[in-house]
């Protein structure tokens, strides 16, 4: 099952994003399955002075080298920032995420480096299956940090799920604000809200 999820996510990662021009610090990719919303967040801090300053701040013992403990502290800080404004509700009940996997590049080694820093966090919001054919309401909200950030988001329906409708506010999308796609893309702005009405199909 994990390999199927990873394969679907890789396909989602390869999806063209020509509608989202410009640089973005974060991007979100979601795969909706009958038992969970699988949520991958990608983070990138470009090469330059800010990357160097971030490494200096992580160098807790000031020895000029970031070890595995300092790497983990940096990844903890990135994860807190990425999740700080994210809220997911199912039929009005807020869901808590489980972290499945996380990884980073550029958070170990010399603290004076100025090359890029990247991280990814893979989550799952567990969903009770409900009855086959029952229409459920899933709401995603995000308050980006910083508030001026624009975040590309991709949403895909996995096997056994039909998206009945997507309604988005504070989201720029190449599709209409109300759509019924198997795959959907947009760019989140501060206060973004995406509502999905979906149903699980009978096996």
Classify 191 in phi/psi space as left (phi over 0), alpha (psi -120 to 50) or beta. left
From first to last of its 203 residues, what are the pLDDT tens digits of the chain? Answer: 444 433 433 343 333 333 333 445 888 999 999 999 999 999 999 999 999 999 999 999 999 999 999 999 999 999 998 998 899 999 999 999 999 999 999 999 999 999 999 999 999 999 986 777 889 999 999 877 666 578 888 999 999 999 998 988 877 765 544 555 678 888 888 788 999 999 988 66
C-alpha–C-alpha distance, residues 40 and 151, integer Å? 13
pLDDT attached to residue 182: 75
Give how far the C-alpha of residue 46 lies from the chain's centroid of Cα atoms, to the nearest Å: 18
What pLDDT is attached to residue 148?
57
Please state, in angstroms and rounded to a whole number, the distance separating the CA atoms of residues 145 and 36. 25
Least Cα distance to 154 among 44, 31, 42 occurs for 31
CB atoms within 10 A of CB 110: 12
Whether 24 contacts 151, CB under 8 Å: yes
Q: How far apart are CA 201 and CA 38, in angstroms?
A: 18
Note the helical H segments in the chain.
2-13, 49-58, 68-83
CA distance 84 to 176: 28
User: For the whole model, what pTM was predicted?
Assistant: 0.80
Residues with Cβ within 8 Å of 174's Cβ and at least 6 positions away in sequence, in order, are 19, 185, 186
């Amino acid at each position: 099952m994990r390999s199927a999820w990873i394969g679907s996510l890789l396909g989602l990662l390869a999806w063209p994003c020509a509608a989202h021009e410009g640089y973005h610090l974060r991007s979100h990719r979601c795969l909706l399955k009958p038992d969970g919303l699988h949520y991958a967040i990608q983070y990138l801090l470009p090469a330059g002075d800010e990357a160097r300053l971030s490494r200096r701040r992580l160098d807790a013992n000031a020895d000029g080298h970031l070890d595995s403990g300092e790497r983990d502290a940096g990844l903890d800080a990135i994860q807190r920032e990425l999740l700080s404004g994210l809220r997911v509700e199912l039929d009005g009940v807020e869901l808590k995420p489980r972290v499945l996997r996380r990884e980073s590049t550029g958070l170990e080694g010399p603290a004076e480096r100025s090359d890029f820093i990247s991280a990814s966090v893979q989550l799952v919001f567990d969903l009770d299956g409900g009855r086959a054919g029952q229409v459920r309401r899933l709401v995603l909200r995000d308050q980006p940090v910083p508030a001026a950030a624009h975040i590309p988001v991709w949403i895909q329906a996995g096997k056994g799920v039909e998206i009945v409708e997507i309604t988005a506010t504070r989201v720029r999308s190449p599709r209409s604000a109300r759509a019924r796609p198997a795959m959907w893309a947009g760019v989140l702005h501060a206060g973004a809200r995406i509502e999905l009405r979906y149903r699980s199909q009978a096996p």
